[in-house]
Amino acid sequence: MLEPNADHRAAPAITLACALEEWAGEDARRRDVAATISALAEGATELSRAIAEGPLAGDLARTLSSGEAGEGQKALDVISNDIVIGALKAAPVAAVASEENDAPVLLDADKPLLVAIDPLDGSSNIDTDISVGTIFAVFPRRDDIDAAEPAAFLQHGRDMLAAGYVIYGPHTAMMLTVGAGTWHFALDRQGAFRLVSADVKVKEGTPEFAINMSNYHHWDGPVRAYVDDCLSGRNGPRERDFNMRWVASMVADAHRIFQRGGIYLYPGDSRKGYGQGRLRLLYEAFPVAFLMEQAGGGASDCRGPILDLTATGLHQRVPFAFGSRDKVARVARYHLEPAGHGERSPLFARRGLFI
Ligand SMILES: O=P(O)(O)OC[C@H]1O[C@](O)(COP(=O)(O)O)[C@@H](O)[C@@H]1O
Ligand SMILES: [Mg+2]
Ligand SMILES: [Mg+2]
């Protein structure tokens, strides 16, 4: 047992810089990716300080403009965007596609990489001291298209070279993949990201789901059926009681799923502007899907793998389900075989529990 005054802190672990150095070696492409991730880490460290100051840094939750699907732009969205793009100017990045900019921001057309980024995910939570994050994806620059053109970013999910997110919570952490598994780092007080695990695995079998239940009446049949079957608990077809969580910061829901399993869903629904859900493919779904797959989890558009999609628009939305691989596969079965997936009892076959 720990003595009250015992030093129970873990020994300092390998830094992000060392991990990237070791991974990159002398490979020129890898060194560019590593430099880009380091620049993003520097931006995220600066941002974590501003977020930690909360109201002392000014009214960060001030709404500056309202978006088409209820995503108003907050002061901290703009600050975050300025910080991450500022940090990327020192990296080998030609252009950045950000949630906060209609068009790509050109940095240096000759540089070899592109970054797609959600500078601040979960911005509706800024004033409530709940975790928010930064989500990013690194792509190769194409030789055939000007990096400032949106088309330069319309790439296949499996073209991604690296992806990750930083979560600003009680502690700041980064989940990162360069295609060699999913790595977990935590930010120490001196400003260095230190390795927690280089082999993150998403558990299966955790009876927990995350979805905004207030949209129940807007969902289509397969999504209702999936959630109904969870809610029907040990007497329903899943034969166990389920727990539910919804942080309304995808990074926070993702981080929980990386620690203990479960599933996150933001499906399309019948509300205006939500036909393809809420999440953006390039800088929300693609990076989280890459992290999930590298950790043995799954990520789909409720039907097939997200990473098998090719982006068709810079700010394109996509229905999104991710988490434990067994659960993501089950969601797909409910969509692809709605009448005959054979796993739901007749009691639940025609009506939702709430309808
Ligand atoms: O408020 P809703 O509809 O439940 O949506 C919450 C979802 O929207 C998001 O906040 C979208 O991110 P942004 O804050 O970057 O717009 C997700 O992080 C979250 O899961
Ligand atoms: Mg977001
Ligand atoms: Mg955002």
3-state secondary structure the chain: CCCCCCCCCCCCCCEHHHHHHHHHCCCHHHHHHHHHHHHHHHHHHHHHHHHHHHHHHCCCCCEEECCCCCCCEEHHHHHHHHHHHHHHCCCCEEEEEECCCCCCEECCCCCCEEEEEEEEECHHHHHHCCCEEEEEEEEECCCCCCCCCHHHHCCEHHHCCEEEEEEECCCEEEEEECCCCEEEEEECCCCCEEEEECCCCCCCCCCEEECCHHHHHHCCHHHHHHHHHHHCHHHCCCCCCCEECCCCCHHHHHHHHHHHCCEEEECCCCCCCCCCCCCEHHHHHHHHHHHHHHCCCEEECCCCEHHHCECCCCCCECCEEEECHHHHHHHHHHHHCCCCCCCCCHHHCCCCCCC
215 lines ligand 1 (CB under 6 A): no
- What pLDDT was estimated at residue 70? 54
Q: Say if pTM beats, i.e. exceeds, 0.90.
A: yes
Which ligand places an atom closest to the C-alpha of 69? 1
Q: In the chain, what are the domain boundaries?
A: 16-197, 208-348
Nearest CA to ligand 1 atom 14: 122
Q: From the alpha carbon of 122, which atom of ligand 1 is closest?
A: 14
Residue 8 has what pLDDT?
60
CATH class of the structural domain 16-197: alpha beta
Cα of 225 from ligand 1 centre, angstroms: 23
Residue 68: the pLDDT is: 56
Q: Does residue 119 have its Cβ closer than 6 Å to ligand 1?
A: no
Q: Do domains 16-197 and 208-348 have the same CATH topology?
A: no
Domain 208-348 has CATH 1.10.1740.10: no
* pLDDT value for 351: 40
Mutation to probe ligand 1, out of 131, 250, 257 (largest number of atoms < 8 A from CB): 250
Ligand 1 close to Cβ of residue 250 (< 6 A):
yes
What parts of the chain have a pLDDT lower than 70? Answer: 1-12, 66-71, 340-355
317 lines ligand 1 (CB under 6 A): no
For this complex, say whether ipTM is above 0.95: yes
Q: What's the gap in Å between 122 CA and the centre of ligand 2?
A: 6
